[in-house]
Amino acid sequence: MPKNCNFIEKLREVGLRPTKQRVKMCEVLYNREKTFHFTINDLVKLLSEKMNQKISLATVYNTVHAFEKKGYLKEISIDSHKSYFDTNTSAHHHFFDEDTHELIDCDESDIDKVNIRKNITGKKINSVEVLVRVASDNQTQK
């Protein structure tokens, strides 16, 4: 309960009204130790099942995209069939577990700086991100 004050302020700063739906959404998104990777459906389920917050799908979409525009969330393209979002909004690298479909942030130290030798003429580099696809080691998979 007291923690929510942070979120209320946070929302205000960004120009969003701290409604109960948004505060609950903040709790789900940001009350955690580690980066949170999720789909819209993950988030709706967490809100309704774990947080007992009835909320419409449209509100979740709208608010997630509002957060994204404000730089509080980042959309990640890992699977063309689904949108993943990430509470870590910096450019960073990922492991993607192809068994569980889980996204995991790489630590800074996990991957050396990527050296780009040649760029497209007349273009500047906005971001460089690495995706490492991993899968179970002990599986018979040709």
Partner DNA sequence: ATCTACATTATAATAATTCTAAACTGTTGA
Partner DNA sequence: TCAACAGTTTAGAATTATTATAATGTAGAT
Query: CA 103, CA 35: separation in Å to the nearest integer?
Result: 10
CA–CA distance, 41 with 47 (Å, rounded to integer): 10
Binding mask 60-89 for Zn ion (x = CB under 5 A): --------------------------x-x-
Which is nearest to 77 in space by CA: 134, 125, 129, 136? 129
Verify binding: residue 45, DNA, rule CB under 7 A.
Answer: no
Query: Is residue 79 near a second copy by the rule CB under 8 A?
Result: yes
Does 27 participate in binding Zn ion (rule CB under 5 A)? Answer: no
Choices 4-12, 27-35, 52-60, 82-90 (CB under 8 A): range interacting with a second copy: 82-90
Measured from the CB atom, the residue of 16 and 28 that comes closer to DNA is 16
Maximum separation of any 2 CA atoms in the chain, in Å? 53
Asked whether 128 and 91 are in contact (CB, 8 A), the reply is yes
Catalog residues that contact Zn ion under the rule CB under 5 A. Answer: 86, 88, 105
